[in-house]
Amino acid sequence: MTTHASADLGIHAIGLTKSYGDLRVLDGIDLAVPRGSVLALLGPNGAGKTTTVRILATLTAADSGSVRVAGHDTVAERSRVRELIALTGQFAAVDELLTGTETLRMMGRLAGLSPRAARTRADGLLARFGLTEAAGRTAKTYSGGMRRRLDLAASLVSRPEVIFLDEPTNGLDPRSRQDLWDLVRELRADGTTVLLTTQYLEEADRLADRVAVLADGRIAAEGTPGDLKARVAGHRLDLTLTNRAAYEALAPRAVHLDPEELTLGLATDGSAAHVRTLLDELDPDRTDIGRFALRSATLDDVFLALTGADR
């Protein structure tokens, strides 16, 4: 990659490896995230998503490879990188004895803001995250969603160039999750680079400019959500079977399974000719398939096909 291209990247990782004893967690990870864009990092539990985030955020050292974040080397310029990034983990990390106001003002002072600037920044973030009415209460009185919002607000006090969101909507109710989605869109519009790990594939589909699928310590695929869905299958033919034997016979070919409803999904190009061919091939006697429906492929299909995760 040229120097000019590298300068346009908010995150640039080459050949990252990491092992814990005999366990190889990362086996040569490459990432290139343009400034002001959102990358969603997907993968099953234990795939190495959090390890990757910790390396990029300077919290864990890679065994080999190189990383530049916000244009700076994470080893040689570790302190500078930390000034330019923010990290929100899977669980809200706030001091329960401090009020919302105290938390954000403290973070502002730690970020080098004057007392007046810290107050202004705190008030603005409390309003942005819908916490103004609760600002004078200690965090121990907050609901889980409110604590998550306060945690996110604290991570934005310093106006980071790059923010790492490690499963940020874990445990949030649908309304709070939607609010966070809106925040990610605002961050991107403001030019912030966002790396998002998530177990909610709809979240990645809606928010990410690009998606990277992590499996067995490697990037199994990377591209726009549309590109990845087209790679696995442009469409999916969902079949509801009339009996368990027919369901089990077709299950190995499926990209989606619902054993309770005896429903499974098969890859198809979506054309009438291909759908008819599949139906005739799979149920020549027309007794095993009770219903069928054609739908667009989803990131769920991509995830299952590329990671081999349990369906």
**Segment 245-275, tens digit of pLDDT:** 999 999 988 877 889 999 998 888 788 999 9
Q: Can you list the domains of the chain with their CATH numbers?
A: 3-223 (3.40.50.300), 232-307 (3.30.70)
- List, for residues 117-157, the tens digit of each pLDDT value: 999 999 999 998 889 999 999 999 998 888 888 988 998 89
Residues 6+ apart with CB under 8 A from 114: none
CA 65/CA 250 separation, integer angstroms = 43
Asked if 234 and 296 touch (Cβ cutoff 8 Å), the reply is: yes
Q: Tell me the backbone φ, ψ of residue 73, rounded to 5 degrees.
A: -70, 130
Whole-Å CA distances, 310 to 23, 133, 210, 257, 305: 21, 44, 24, 10, 10
Asked if 44 and 215 touch (Cβ cutoff 8 Å), the reply is: yes
Percent of the chain topping pLDDT 90: 58
Question: Tokens 């007046």 correspond to what residue?
Answer: 116
| The predicted structure's pLDDT at residue 70 | 95
**Confidence grade of residue 199 (pLDDT, cut at 50, 70, 90):** confident
CA 91/CA 264 separation, integer angstroms = 34
- List, for residues 164-194, the tens digit of each pLDDT value: 998 888 777 787 788 888 888 989 999 999 9
The stretch 36-40 carries a mean pLDDT of 96
| The predicted structure's pLDDT at residue 90 | 66
Would you state the structure tokens that stand for residue 71, as one six-digit string? 């244009």
**Confidence grade of residue 1 (pLDDT, cut at 50, 70, 90):** very low
Q: Answer yes or no: is pLDDT of 234 > 70.
A: no
Calculate ∠ Cα 156-44-72, nearest 5°.
40
- List, for residues 57-84, the tens digit of each pLDDT value: 999 999 999 999 999 999 999 999 999 9
Rg of the Cα trace of the chain?
23
CA 203/CA 112 separation, integer angstroms = 34
| Overall size of the chain counted in residues | 311
| The predicted structure's pLDDT at residue 83 | 92
- List, for residues 80-120, the tens digit of each pLDDT value: 999 999 988 766 678 889 999 999 999 999 989 999 999 99
Q: Which of 48-57, 92-101, 224-233, 235-244 has the lowest mean pLDDT?
A: 224-233
| The predicted structure's pLDDT at residue 203 | 86
